[in-house]
């Protein structure tokens, strides 16, 4: 079997459904709430990570790439998705991990080990150089045949895959909400809505999952390049719960309650903060009466094991 067939095998479904949900806090102000179930795209690969990797892996396979390098934390959904793809595609994968988990690998890292990933643990200072040209040049001297994919998979090619989310929509929405960490998902949604007349007037609202006021907006703008005067988006910074992967009892309890009410699993790092924010914003009257709101469930449940 050639590698292109393998790539199509990775995708169990290419699009996800939009389902209406009715949690007990959703009925206020006649608001319609829908969830786009990208968490169901694939049993292993996290939803938005597949969207972002798809159009990076296709040319890599065509170019017969033998080795891919990327970066992330010890629970990274991106490294998990990419590690699985590389294993399936028979591509050597090197994961550069922030911090030393060698004595205590997370479930994510245990999977990478099973998938024969070359794992390099680096200290925070080294990890901070992950985007610097000099550091990347040195990496390529060590691994001359490797393709480097940035942290979170957020790069130009990522946007195209995320834009497909907008093209799939069955219904027009007034708002689309998504969690924001490295910005690729939000940038793709913004671009997709701007370029699609049907979804032109839709507002894209990002929920920052880390302390990143200003910084997250810049990441998104950098990815949008020529489209950076779009006015159809903003990022809310009130729901990071103290920082990336930080949470509290209230948030964890909210995740459990949400599952009880909707049978949709969420976790406290990304989707928990998204839906918590959504509930709070609805209760505070942020959305006009009768708004139609779509929340993008980006997956990420492997990180909560």
Q: Cite the active site residues.
A: 76
| Helices 156-168 and 215-224, axial angle in degrees (round to 10) | 90
The distance of closest approach from Cβ of residue 239 to ligand PLP in the complex, given in angstroms and rounded to an integer, is 13
268 lies in the site for ligand PLP, by CB under 6 A: no
Contact by Cβ (8 Å): 301, 39: yes
Among 16, 70, 77, 157, binds ligand PLP (CB under 6 A): 77
272 lies in the site for ligand PLP, by CB under 6 A: no
70 lies in the site for ligand PLP, by CB under 6 A: no
179 lies in the site for ligand PLP, by CB under 6 A: yes
194 lies in the site for ligand PLP, by CB under 6 A: no
d(CA 291, CA 280): 15
User: Which residues lie across from 147 on neighbouring strands?
Assistant: 68
* Piece in contact with ligand PLP (CB under 6 A), picked from 86-94, 106-114, 180-188, 247-255: 180-188
Residue among 94 and 298 whose Cβ is closer to ligand PLP: 298
d(CA 160, CA 233): 18
**How many residues touch ligand PLP (CB under 6 A)?**
19
48 lies in the site for ligand PLP, by CB under 6 A: yes
Among 184, 192, 212, 268, binds ligand PLP (CB under 6 A): 184
The distance of closest approach from Cβ of residue 245 to ligand PLP in the complex, given in angstroms and rounded to an integer, is 11
* DSSP code, position 175: E
Give all strands (DSSP E) within the chain, no chain letters: 18-20, 32-37, 67-72, 92-98, 118-122, 146-148, 175-180, 203-208, 233-236, 292-297
Helix (H, G, I), strand (E, B) or coil at 300: coil
95-134 burial: b if 16+ Cβ within 10 Å, else e: bbbbeebeeebbebbebbeebebebebbeeeebeebeeee
The distance of closest approach from Cβ of residue 94 to ligand PLP in the complex, given in angstroms and rounded to an integer, is 20
Among 16, 46, 106, 194, binds ligand PLP (CB under 6 A): 46
183 lies in the site for ligand PLP, by CB under 6 A: yes
Q: Which of residues 138-157 bind ligand PLP (CB under 6 A)?
A: 152, 154
Distances (CA, A) of 113 to 45, 105, 117, 257: 16, 9, 6, 34
Angle at 167 between CA 163 and CA 171, to 5 degrees: 125
302 lies in the site for ligand PLP, by CB under 6 A: no
Binding-site ranges for ligand PLP (CB under 6 A): 46, 48-49, 77-78, 152, 154, 179-186, 270, 298-300
């Amino acid at each position: 079997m050639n590698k292109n067939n393998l790539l199509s095998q990775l995708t169990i479904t290419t699009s996800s459904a939009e389902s209406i949900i009715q949690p007990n806090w959703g009925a206020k102000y006649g608001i319609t709430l829908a969830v786009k179930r990208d968490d169901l795209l694939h049993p292993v690969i996290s939803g938005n990570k597949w969207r972002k990797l798809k159009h990076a892996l296709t040319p890599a396979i065509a170019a017969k790439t033998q080795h891919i390098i990327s970066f992330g934390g010890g629970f990274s959904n991106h490294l998990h998705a990419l590690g699985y793809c590389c294993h399936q595609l028979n591509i050597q994968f090197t994961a550069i991990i922030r911090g030393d988990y060698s004595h205590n690998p997370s479930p994510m890292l245990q999977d990478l080990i099973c998938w024969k990933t070359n794992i390099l643990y680096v200290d925070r200072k080294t990890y901070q150089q992950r985007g610097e040209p000099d550091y990347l040049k040195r990496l390529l001297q060590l691994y001359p045949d490797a393709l480097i994919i940035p942290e979170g998979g957020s790069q130009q090619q990522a946007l195209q895959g995320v834009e497909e989310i907008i093209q799939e929509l069955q219904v027009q929405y007034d708002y689309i909400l998504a969690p924001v960490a490295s910005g690729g998902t939000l940038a793709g949604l913004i671009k997709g809505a701007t370029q699609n007349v049907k979804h032109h007037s839709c507002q894209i609202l990002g929920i920052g999952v880390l302390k990143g006021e200003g910084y997250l907006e810049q990441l998104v703008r950098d990815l949008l390049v020529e489209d950076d005067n779009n006015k159809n988006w903003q990022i809310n910074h009130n729901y990071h719960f103290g920082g990336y992967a930080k949470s509290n009892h209230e948030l964890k309890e909210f995740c459990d309650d949400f599952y009880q009410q909707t049978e949709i699993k969420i976790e406290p790092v990304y989707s928990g903060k998204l839906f918590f924010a959504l509930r709070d914003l609805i209760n505070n009257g942020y959305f006009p009466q009768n708004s139609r709101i779509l929340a993008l469930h980006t997956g990420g449940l492997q990180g909560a094991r």
